[in-house]
Amino acid sequence: MPDDEATLPIDELMRAIEAEDRSAVSALAEEMHYADLAHAYQEIEEDKHELFLKTIGPEKAADMIVELPDTMIEEALDAFSPSELKVLFHELSDDDRVDILQDVGDEARLRFLGLLGPEDEELTRSLLKYEHDTAGGRMTTRIGRIFDNQTVKQAIEMLRRGQESTETLSRIFVVDQKGRLLGKLRFRDLAFNTWDTPVRDIMREIGPERVLATADQEEAANMLLKYDLIALPVIDEFDHLLGIVTHDDAMEILQEESTEDIEKIAGIGGEQSEETYLNTSILNQFRRRAGWLTGLAFVSLLSGYVMMRFGSILSQVFLLSLFLPMVVAAGGNTGGQASTMVIRAMSLGEISPGSAGEVAWKELRTGFFLGLLLGTCMALFTVLLLPFFHLPMPPGMSLAKVGVAIAIALTTQVTSATFLGSLLPLGARAVNLDPAVVSAPAIAAIVDVSGMVIYFTVARAILGL
């Protein structure tokens, strides 16, 4: 029931839009959160977009447009006149304004920049020089900033003058006369001290909890989580305070990065789409999936080649075909598990580049014990249960011998696949590739081939074929 009640205003809004009831749309939009408005905008028919935007106006639309997928932003902005766009851009925080301008075409970006006031245009251009996926590209410059040589009274007066242009005062940063970051304090630290108290006496020095503007956005998000911060200061190479990345930015960054990693692990390439699944075109889905699938299909042909080369073994002991899919699949499963564990640990900063040997040794032992467990189970199954099925066997060959061959092959396959699955992401990082690109489908295709080679080689050696 609570979920139904929560979605009811959106349903009412969408019905009002379809009916072109502007008064109802305006009244409902006034009471709704901008994220819900963005959801409604994506769900309604395209020919109703302009009516919706014109009805709610540029002030209400400002925050909503930030939540839209990047492919829909320019279209939404074009619904407004230049005078309305000036209002809209004025309502946006500097980081949101930059995010929007990074998502539109070059021609539109220049046109929109020309609508900004001189101060906003200069600030926006300075932020646009940073890539979207860097800390500088995600930071806001609207921060509480005071000087170390001020008193509490002077600091409060300075913050009061800039309160309209400050995004958050939950954390206030202290700089020296050259703008270099020295420390931080909370607003209550100012409120609970006497007016003549020097700021430098009550500030807390900042240690490693700072990030370069050119650093990857994921590094900034992980630092916010690691140090349990509300705001992470962003600096240049000379320690000048440029801005902050806030905790809500961190949540958005981690959502983007986790989605990207999940898609790469699943073998989905191309640029990540911000549109909802149902709103993403079939052509876009096709482009992002086709490359990996085609490549892996050709890799899988090697499995067929191995089968052809060792086909005589199966013809002599057809019972081996019962265990072949299981041995191959076990390698793919354990290799995928190992790569996922290592990629996750790498993304959390738990594995340094110099710890490859330690990781490989750990996964090698883990894979061996897993393989030993599975091999023992299959050997017992072969010896204890298969006799009840009265399966034909070549003269002079026992189920015990087959069980030993399967156990050895399975242990070797699982051990090697786990070892390979752990090393491939580390190797990818060593050559500056995204470890997530070494995805589970890729590892599965590789260990399919290696698994068949191991299985048939062990069977021929143990069974004397």
Give me 189's structure tokens.
């630290």
CA-to-CA dists, residue 252 to 222, 257, 258, angstroms: 12, 9, 10
pLDDT of residue 59: 93
Rounded to whole angstroms, how far apart are CA atoms 379 and 384? 8
pLDDT of residue 1: 39
Cα dihedral across residues 232, 238, 241, 242: positive or negative:
negative
Contacts of 246 (CB under 8 A, 6+ apart): 140, 167, 168, 230, 231, 232
Rounded to whole angstroms, how far apart are CA atoms 271 and 260? 9
Q: Looking at 80-229, which runs of residues are DSSP E strands?
A: 143-147, 168-175, 181-185, 204-205, 211-212
- For 182, phi then psi, to 5°, come to -115, -45
Rounded to whole angstroms, how far apart are CA atoms 268 and 440? 11
pTM score: 0.65
**SS3 state of residue 263:** helix
Do 171 and 184 form a contact (C-beta atoms < 8 A)? yes
Report the length, in residues, of the chain: 465
Contacts of 42 (CB under 8 A, 6+ apart): 68, 69, 72, 275, 276, 279
Nearest to 335 by CA among 437, 448, 453: 448
Q: What angle do CA 230, 131, 289 make, to 5 degrees?
A: 100
The tally of CA atoms less than 13 A away on the side-chain side of residue 23 is 0
pLDDT of residue 265: 64
Nearest to 68 by CA among 109, 112, 103: 103
Do 166 and 142 form a contact (C-beta atoms < 8 A)? yes
DSSP 389: G
pLDDT of residue 439: 63
pLDDT of residue 355: 86
Rounded to an integer, what is the distance from CA 299 to the centroid of its chain?
28
Give me 155's structure tokens.
């600091």
Rounded to an integer, what is the distance from CA 178 to the centroid of its chain?
36
* Residues in the chain with pLDDT values less than 70: 1-8, 263-279, 436-441
Rounded to whole angstroms, how far apart are CA atoms 59 and 176? 37
Q: Which residue has the tokens 């009244």?
A: 27
pLDDT of residue 190: 94
pLDDT of residue 269: 59
Number of Cβ atoms within 10 Å of the Cβ of 105: 9
User: Exposed (0-12), middle (13-18) or buried (19+): which is 384, by Cβ within 10 Å?
Assistant: exposed
**SS3 state of residue 87:** helix
Residues paired with residue 175 on neighbouring β-strands, in sequence order = 147, 181
Number of Cβ atoms within 10 Å of the Cβ of 206: 17
Cα dihedral across residues 184, 187, 188, 192: positive or negative:
positive
